[in-house]
Amino acid sequence: MQWIYRITAALILFWLLFAQIQMITNFMRVPNHMELALYEQRLIGGQDGIFAHESTTGRVLEGVVDTARFNDLTLTNAYMQDSPIFGARLTLYLNTTSLDQQQPFMNATNAPDVVTKYLPLAQAGLTGPGGGLYERHVYPVMIQSSDEPLRPGWLEIEAVKRT
């Protein structure tokens, strides 16, 4: 009869140990939407991102897009770590009254194979295996070209993560 108590106590201890391991694992995991936000920030505001840099200090000028850095090669250099998992399409618009009336000024893509495969699935809401997570953000920015003064514009980012 004592063996029933011992087995019950052992099962309870194993269950508590398993529950604690699950809690620690889930606590330390970064949520998917946060991973996408960090990925986007790395593309635009990172050291190798598309935002302009001050020439003397190398400081990133937040909100100022440098058109010389706005290309596929810069985006690839900005984030190569998980290239088959993440992808983004960035579009730069010149400022008009609303974003709906505008024509794209410049486009750039990071991981175009991920974008072409998983962006339509993610936009459709298919987030399970074989699908993707999708986030779209539009930021007001200033556009810096080498031969022109700063111009106002919009930066649209469509980011996708393969699930």
How far lies 117's CA from each of 49, 59, 73, 85, 87, in Å? 24, 35, 20, 11, 10
Torsion, Cα of 66, 71, 74, 76 (10° steps): 150
pTM attached to this predicted model: 0.74
Q: What was the pLDDT predicted at 132?
A: 84
**Using one digit for the tens of pLDDT, what is the confidence trace for 50-93?**
888 888 888 888 889 988 888 888 777 776 665 678 888 999 98
Q: What is the pLDDT along the chain (163 residues), one digit of tens a residue?
A: 677 888 888 888 888 888 887 777 666 666 677 888 888 888 888 778 888 888 888 888 888 998 888 888 877 777 666 567 888 899 998 876 665 667 788 898 888 888 888 888 888 887 777 778 888 988 889 998 888 888 888 899 998 988 8
